[in-house]
Amino acid sequence: MSKRTLDAFFAAPKPKKQKKSGLYKEDSKGVIELEPSPSPSPSPSPLPVVVTSKETIEIVSDDDEIAVVSETKAVKSTSVAAPVILTNTGFAIAAPDRDTSPSGPPSIHPTYPFPIPSLPRHLLESMQPSKEPRAINDGIDLDLLCYEPYMASSLARDYGEFLRRELPFYRVQYKINRFGKETEINTPRYTTVFGIDDTSRFSPDGQILDARTGKPSPANKYKTCRPRPIPQCLQSLLDATSECTNTSYNFALVNYYASGQDSISFHSDDEHFLEKEPAIASFSFLGARDFLLKHKPMKEQGQPVEGAKKGEDKPMKFNLTSGTLILMRGKTQSNWLHSIPKRASNGVRAPAIQGRINITFRKNMTAAGTENYYRYNVGTGPVWKWDEKKKEMKLHVADTSDI
């Protein structure tokens, strides 16, 4: 969401708790793959049995957010034999026959706080959609394509864990003017962004070039940010998504919702620097979360309120599980709002909410759009990085040993 949209957002008082209207915000599936193993040598593997469980969760609050609203060369490497792990239940955990060696050197750029490893080879080979999409268009001006799943569950988990572990994240704070008063906003989720708008491109060695002339761009073209090339681990999914959705993208925005308290308020991705009727590809990895969609108020759009169409009064709800891709296209962004509401993380009937990665691929047309995306998704604060031992985000301390 852009600053312009935010300003419009705060032009009226914000209702407290549930039942919101207009643009105001509110702000897991367990998968076990088992292979019966009567003997210690279970190969060749039959198809895995996938056991899933659904949970019921409730909305806890809808205030806070202020929603904002290298290319690398593959190198040959050797495959590691997949181990078979025997459990004390008499089952062996299916050990996939996969090559987890890196598919190339890490992606590096002066703007990255640390090198970003290239994908393990088994993931790089799994970037194409696993099935045909289903159209969802049963609301007025709603035009969605849902790949459910785009990526099978164990690959989606590996990919989600890879991104969570290897990407730099930020907890962006910024100030807005709300009813004439300066207000500090704490974005209620981890964010990060890579990419550059259509007027520029990166050279193979990471310099910013003018997209039309191919010459280096003036050093002051981007005044408030340092655009970062999309690392291989995201570019490979972007390329596969471009191909299957027949759309080009130049930005990857990543959200990490660490718990049910992390969220994004109702908004639409209708920034003026995107194309008209933009196609936005939105992926989900790791923990499942509810995704709400509701029609913008008809009145606001100069249409009669009577005969409200599906989604306007009561939001449509999708439980987005790991590996799902939702493509929002056509008139969706100009007519619909979407959100990931807060959820109770330890409800009686609900297991703890697991962290969730979201990636959106978009096509940004202007340099101002680039500045906007970096301002609201990287900001000026410290870097957070996943601590694999503690299983949580930790402030990243730059390694100065080489300086």
| CA angle 47–48–50, rounded 5-degree value | 135
Q: Which stretch binds Fe ion (CB under 5 A): 35-43, 167-175, 243-251, 264-272?
A: 264-272
Q: Is 269 in the site for Fe ion (CB under 5 A)?
A: yes
Restricting to residues 360-389, name those near ligand AKG by CB under 6 A. 360
Question: Under rule CB under 5 A, how many of the chain's residues touch Fe ion?
Answer: 1
Q: Is 26 in the site for Fe ion (CB under 5 A)?
A: no
Per the DSSP assignment, residues forming a β-bridge with 281 are 327, 361
Q: Which stretch binds Fe ion (CB under 5 A): 179-187, 263-271, 326-334, 343-351?
A: 263-271
Q: Which helix (H) or strand (E) holds 36?
A: strand 32-36
Pair type for strands 356-362 and 251-257: antiparallel
Give the residue at shortest CB distance from Fe ion: 269
Question: Is 137 assigned a ligand-binding role in the annotation?
Answer: no
DSSP symbol at 355:
P
Phi/psi at 387 (nearest 5 deg)? Answer: -100, 110
Given candidates 2, 126, 245, 282, which one binds ligand AKG under the rule CB under 6 A?
282
Give the residue at shortest CB distance from ligand AKG: 358
Given candidates 119, 340, 365, 383, which one binds ligand AKG under the rule CB under 6 A?
340
Q: State which residue, 5 or 236, has the beta carbon closest to Fe ion.
A: 5
**Within a 13 Å sphere around the CA of 26, how many CA atoms are in the beta-carbon half?**
22
Whether 208 contacts 202, CB under 8 Å: yes
Phi/psi at 4 (nearest 5 deg)? Answer: -60, -45
Q: Is 322 in the site for ligand AKG (CB under 6 A)?
A: no
Given candidates 164, 294, 338, 343, which one binds ligand AKG under the rule CB under 6 A?
338
Count other C-beta atoms under 10 Å from residue 103's C-beta. 23
Q: List the single partner that 192 binds among Fe ion, ligand AKG, none, CB under 5 to 8 Å by kind.
A: none
Contacts of 44 (CB under 8 A, 6+ apart): none
Q: State which residue, 208 or 337, has the beta carbon closest to ligand AKG.
A: 337
Contacts of 30 (CB under 8 A, 6+ apart): 51, 52, 53, 351
Given candidates 324, 358, 370, 372, which one binds ligand AKG under the rule CB under 6 A?
358
Identify the CA nearest to 295 among candidates 284, 283, 307: 307
Q: Is 255 in the site for ligand AKG (CB under 6 A)?
A: yes
Q: State which residue, 236 or 358, has the beta carbon closest to ligand AKG.
A: 358
Q: State which residue, 200 or 360, has the beta carbon closest to ligand AKG.
A: 360
Q: Is 258 in the site for ligand AKG (CB under 6 A)?
A: no
Q: List the single partner that 291 binds among Fe ion, ligand AKG, none, CB under 5 to 8 Å by kind.
A: ligand AKG
In angstroms, rounded to a whole number, what is the distance separating the alpha carbons of residues 354 and 374? 27
| CA angle 358–359–362, rounded 5-degree value | 140
CA distances from 135 to 41, 132, 249, 362 (A): 44, 10, 21, 20
Chain residues binding Fe ion by CB under 5 A are 269
Site for ligand AKG, rule CB under 6 A: 253, 255, 264, 269, 282, 291, 338, 340, 358, 360
Specify binding-site residues for substrate: 270
